[in-house]
Structure 1
Amino acid sequence: MRKSISVKGLSHRHPVPNACRIGNMVFSGAVHGVSPTNHELPTEMADQSANVFANMLAIIEAAGGSVEDIVKVEIYLRDSSNRNAVNEEWLRMFPDPESRPARHVRPLPADSPSLVQCEFIAVIEDVL
């Protein structure tokens, strides 16, 4: 059975959940760098990156998992040379080099208000 995962403060403008869980698999939609408390998008890359990773954590936990369950992350950057803030957050969330998810970087449109976004896939051990 498919289950929509929606996190208060992170809801989309459209009638779309933050993620979907089916069995032990979780697939996120776009995870933005908005603040979950004031719903604003910071202008600085470091702040958006910190929010993206915090929002990813909130979504996977709402789905019943943890960062250990994340197996793939797609990072979207408006400027692909601007990875330092993303890498700092990446190392904070996934400190063990022997246990990190796969990652791929893709471009965001130049006119996007976001500097960074992500999507992820997770496999949770315990089935609901």
Structure 2
Amino acid sequence: MKTVMTNQAPAAIGPYAQGIIVNNMFYSSGQIPLTPQGELIEGDIVDQTHQVFANIKAVLAEAGTSLDQVVKTTVFMKDMNDFVAMNEVYASYFDDHKPARSAVEVARLPKDVQVEIEVIALVK
């Protein structure tokens, strides 16, 4: 087991790692729309989802993998009415490759953000 940490994504705000590699699989912690410096992106769901993907790409890169190796995502949203806008941004990061996905509405997310996404990916 290998812990993945990078300063190109926000530091964990609790007792957890940004990600873990086990048996050539990468498991990320949920990424929220914080900059690597810890500043909250307070824009709409589109702005927040773009920042989440910037963070995901950074932890994937540190793990030695990328979005095209993602096999599963889980999207947590504060308001399912934002699904269409989030989905348009999400789709822009996955061209022909379409990982399995779950999307759920939750009562509250850390720092009251609108979206949090976690991924599972193959490590080459």
User: Is the structural similarity TM-score above 0.5?
Assistant: yes
Flag the structure with higher helix content: 2
RMSD over aligned Cα atoms: 1.7
Q: Matched residues in 2 for 1:46 and 1:21: separation?
A: 29
For these two proteins, the number of residue pairs brought into alignment is: 122
Q: Report the TM-score, using the length of structure 1 for normalisation.
A: 0.85
Q: Matched residues in 2 for 1:108 and 1:49: separation?
A: 16
Deviation of 1:50 after TM superposition, in Å, equals 0.5
Structure 1 unaligned segments of length 5 or more: list them.
none
Q: Matched residues in 1 for 2:102 and 2:64: separation?
A: 24
Q: Report the TM-score, using the length of structure 2 for normalisation.
A: 0.88
CA contact (8 A) 1:30 1:119 kept: yes
Percent identity between matched residues is 25
Q: Taking structure 1 as reference, are residues 93 and 111 closer, same or farther at Cα in structure 2, changes over 3 Å only? A: closer
Q: Taking structure 1 as reference, are residues 46 and 77 closer, same or farther at Cα in structure 2, changes over 3 Å only? A: same
Whether 2:3 is the aligned partner of 1:7: answer no
Deviation of 1:120 after TM superposition, in Å, equals 0.9
CA contact (8 A) 1:34 1:42 kept: no
Runs of 4+ in 1 over 6 A off after TM superposition: none
Q: Matched residues in 2 for 1:21 and 1:48: separation?
A: 26
